[in-house]
Amino acid sequence: MAEDLHARYMKADAARRAHSRTCTGCSPDARCEVGRRLEESFERLQDAYLTRLRKS
Ligand SMILES: [Zn+2]
């Protein structure tokens, strides 16, 4: 289960990196709507993952 969460976390990280590499609407300070969504889902998964790490 923890492994599944980690895999999703890594996937979200890869997705937001791939997006910011190719998207002309994103910059480090401001993201386009898609970039914001990718960033938010990455942050949610990161929180969940880190919370689980602390608990175990
Ligand atoms: Zn973008």
Tens of pLDDT, residues 1-56: 567 999 999 999 999 999 999 999 998 889 999 999 999 999 999 999 999 999 87
State how far the Cα of 32 lies from the Cα of 14, in Å rounded to an integer: 17
pLDDT computed for residue 2 by the predictor = 63
Look at the chain and report how many structural domains it folds into: 1
In this prediction, residue 40 carries a pLDDT of 97
Residue 1 CA, ligand 1 centroid: distance in Å: 31
Q: Which domain holds residue 26?
A: 2-55
User: Cα of 32 to ligand 1 centre, how many Å?
Assistant: 4
Q: How close are the terminal C-alpha atoms of the chain, in Å?
A: 13
CA of 20 to the centre of ligand 1 (A): 6
Distance 44 CA to ligand 1 centre (A): 18
Predicted TM-score (pTM) of the model is 0.83
- pLDDT number for residue 29: 87
